């Protein structure tokens, strides 16, 4: 382990680390734009400059491409380093529009942060800025503002090294350089394309779905897990902060998912997610079922729960189909409170792949489009092709139940969260909460357990499945 000296402090570095990596690992910050821990070194932005001290005199060099060596001495904040960084920031902003007031990246932009930390001065240039494309359609999902691009090449390297779509490149030279797709529309086919939005250190790559929707300081992230497939990527669900709730403007925004970003988890997804994970609002914000029903007739939640209990008590061969979107805690609650009251309980597959959806690849996307099949299978068996003919009651929890194939004459209790025709046909329909309204965990295909937190309150007319199972399994008799 080489010992190096950063700003006079002895630091134990790993032998294959760069000075930048050794500094960051030891809590010493050196700014960087083009370097990224998951990408190859490009060394083009020069902001990570440090001063190397040696017997024959010192020199300035970039730390992201400088391997550590025994006894090496570097300074990260000398007068020369500060002057160089300032000059680099002047250069990077030479043709930059500095339109932070209308930029979605404001509040999360490293250029903005570094400008205040290391430059702070207005531009010294009197020449007019070189104009570039302001709204270039990079893909169906992403807008590119070439005027804000600092040509760090992170987005290009992502498509070459991580998603392997090779969809992006940089064309032309000097101040005419432009990030462009390799062919028209080819970035549309990259199911991981939106990671470049997070990777971009400035506001050059913008999500069309989030464009001008909210300033990031009005939003708060809630840690969650993507239920889009059995990978179970760690994500942050961004939504409006309670202190910035809207009253006069559309109040639905207060309980809407504004955007989804990856939450780094090396054991599951690293710092990446696929585009389906970005679109979780399309799954969670479908029209909700919030009315309990008995054969389609609206009733109060308590009445529906009492009716369900009566059906369970009266049944001779009740069978349950449990949801593989249920959390580990809900599944355990079902097993604890209700498994003994059912002749059998089987795992149901709630969701199948959408038409045209990528089924599987060797990066993140998995074939099973449900988040907790492994957790459900740890407690219950897979459903047989057909339920026993003697089944006289089926409790269906979640989506994907095939009601046409249930044994003839069997009564049904359906626990669902979204509006669906079958809700009104069930003998008892009980609306239940969704992932964004409760705390819990899923077990992914590799056995990694990930937890999620609630970001919105459930409505009183909607049941919490964990509490519901305890009520349905309680011992005292329900009056007829």
Which residues sit at the interface with ligand SF4, rule CB under 6 A? 149-155, 179, 199-202, 204-205, 226, 228-229, 231-233, 269, 273-274, 276-277, 364-365
Rounded Cα–Cα distance for residues 335 and 12 (Å)? 51
Is 33 an interacting residue with respect to ligand FES (CB under 6 A)? yes
Task: With CA atoms as reference, report the closest residue to 213 among 182, 187, 238, 186.
Answer: 238
Q: Which of 13, 39, 45, 68: binder of ligand FES (CB under 6 A)? A: 45
Task: Kindly tell me which residue out of 2, 43, 67, 270 binds ligand FES, with binding defined by CB under 6 A.
Answer: 43
Residue 142: closest CA among 66, 198, 100:
198
**Residue 364 binds which one of ligand SF4, ligand FES, none, with CB within 5 to 8 A depending on kind?**
ligand SF4
**Interaction of residue 114 with ligand FES, rule CB under 6 A:** no
Residue 474 and residue 340 in contact, taking contact as beta carbons nearer than 8 Å: no
DSSP 393-459: EEEEESS---GGGSPTT-EEEEEESB--GGGGTSSEEEEB--GGGS-EEEE-TTS-EEEE---SPPP
C-alpha dist (Å) from residue 315 to 126, 187, 245, 319, 446: 85, 55, 48, 9, 38
Residue of 4, 34, 333, 415 interacting with ligand FES (CB under 6 A): 34
Q: How far is the CB of 180 from ligand SF4 (least distance, A)?
A: 10
Closest CA to 415 of 436, 394, 386: 394
Helix (H, G, I), strand (E, B) or coil at 358: coil
Residue 234 has phi, psi (to 5 degrees) of -75, 130
Q: Is 377 helix (H, G, I), strand (E, B) or coil?
A: helix
- Phi, psi (deg, nearest 5) at residue 15: -70, -25
Is 62 an interacting residue with respect to ligand FES (CB under 6 A)?
yes
List the single partner that 45 binds among ligand SF4, ligand FES, none, CB under 5 to 8 Å by kind. Answer: ligand FES
Tell me the number of residues near ligand FES by CB under 6 A. 12
Does 428 engage in binding with ligand FES (CB under 6 A)? no
Q: Which does 46 bind (CB under 5 to 8 A by kind): ligand SF4, ligand FES, none?
A: ligand FES
Task: List the single partner that 228 binds among ligand FES, ligand SF4, none, CB under 5 to 8 Å by kind.
Answer: ligand SF4
Considering only 21, 22, 46, 81, the residue that binds ligand FES (CB under 6 A) is 46
> Does residue 111 touch ligand FES according to CB under 6 A?
no
CA angle at residue 256 from 252 to 261, to 5 degrees?
Answer: 160
Q: Which does 36 bind (CB under 5 to 8 A by kind): ligand FES, ligand SF4, none?
A: none
Residue 312 touches which member of ligand SF4, ligand FES, none, C-beta under 5-8 Å by kind: none
The least CB distance from residue 18 to ligand FES, in Å, is 9
Nearer to ligand FES, 50 or 207 (CB): 50
Among residues 384, 389, 375, the alpha carbon closest in space to that of 330 is found at 375
Binding interface with ligand FES (CB under 6 A) = 32-35, 43-48, 62, 64
């Amino acid at each position: 382990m080489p010992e190096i000296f950063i700003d006079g402090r002895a630091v134990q570095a790993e032998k294959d680390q760069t000075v930048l990596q050794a500094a960051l690992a030891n809590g010493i910050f050196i700014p960087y734009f083009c370097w990224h821990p998951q990408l190859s070194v490009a060394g083009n932005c020069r902001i990570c400059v440090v001063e190397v001290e040696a017997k024959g005199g010192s020199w300035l060099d970039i730390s992201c491409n400088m391997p550590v060596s025994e006894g090496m001495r570097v300074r990260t904040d000398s007068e020369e380093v500060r002057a160089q960084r300032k000059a680099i920031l002047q250069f990077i902003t030479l043709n930059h529009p500095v339109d932070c007031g209308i930029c979605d990246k404001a509040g999360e932009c490293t250029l903005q942060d570094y400008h205040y930390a290391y430059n702070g001065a207005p531009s010294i240039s009197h020449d007019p800025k070189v104009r570039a494309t302001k709204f270039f359609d990079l893909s169906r999902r992403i807008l590119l503002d070439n005027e804000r691009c600092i040509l760090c090449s992170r987005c290009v390297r992502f498509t070459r090294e991580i998603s392997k779509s090779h969809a992006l490149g940089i064309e032309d030279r000097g101040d005419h350089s432009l990030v462009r797709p390799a062919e028209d529309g080819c970035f549309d086919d990259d199911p991981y394309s939106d990671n470049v939005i997070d990777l971009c250190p400035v506001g050059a790559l913008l999500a069309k779905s989030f464009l001008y929707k909210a300033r990031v300081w009005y939003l708060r992230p809630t840690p969650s897990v993507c239920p889009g497939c059995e990978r179970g990527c760690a994500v942050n669900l961004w939504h409006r902060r309670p202190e910035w709730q809207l009253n006069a403007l559309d109040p639905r925004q207060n309980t809407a998912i504004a955007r989804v970003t990856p939450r780094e988890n090396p054991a599951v997804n690293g710092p990446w997610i696929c585009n389906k994970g970005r679109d979780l609002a399309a799954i969670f914000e479908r029209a909700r079922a919030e009315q309990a029903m008995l054969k389609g007739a609206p009733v109060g939640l308590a009445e529906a729960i009492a009716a369900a209990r009566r059906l369970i008590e009266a049944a001779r061969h009740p069978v349950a189909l449990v949801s593989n979107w249920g959390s580990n805690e809900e599944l355990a609650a079902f097993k604890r409170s209700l498994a003994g009251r059912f002749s059998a309980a089987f795992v149901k597959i709630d969701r199948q792949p959408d038409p045209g959806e990528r089924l599987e690849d060797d990066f993140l996307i998995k074939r099973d489009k449900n988040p907790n099949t492994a957790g459900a299978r740890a407690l219950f068996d897979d459903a047989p092709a057909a339920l026993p003919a003697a089944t006289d009651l089926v409790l269906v929890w979640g989506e994907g139940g095939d009601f046409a194939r249930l044994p003839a004459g069997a009564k049904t209790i359906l626990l669902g969260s979204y509006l669906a025709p079958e809700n009104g046909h069930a003998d008892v329909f009980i609306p239940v909460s969704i992932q964004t309204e409760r705390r819990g965990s899923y077990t992914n295909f590799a056995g990694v357990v990930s937890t999620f937190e609630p970001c919105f309150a459930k409505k009183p007319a909607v049941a919490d499945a964990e509490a519901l199972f305890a009520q349905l399994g309680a011992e005292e008799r329900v009056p007829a």
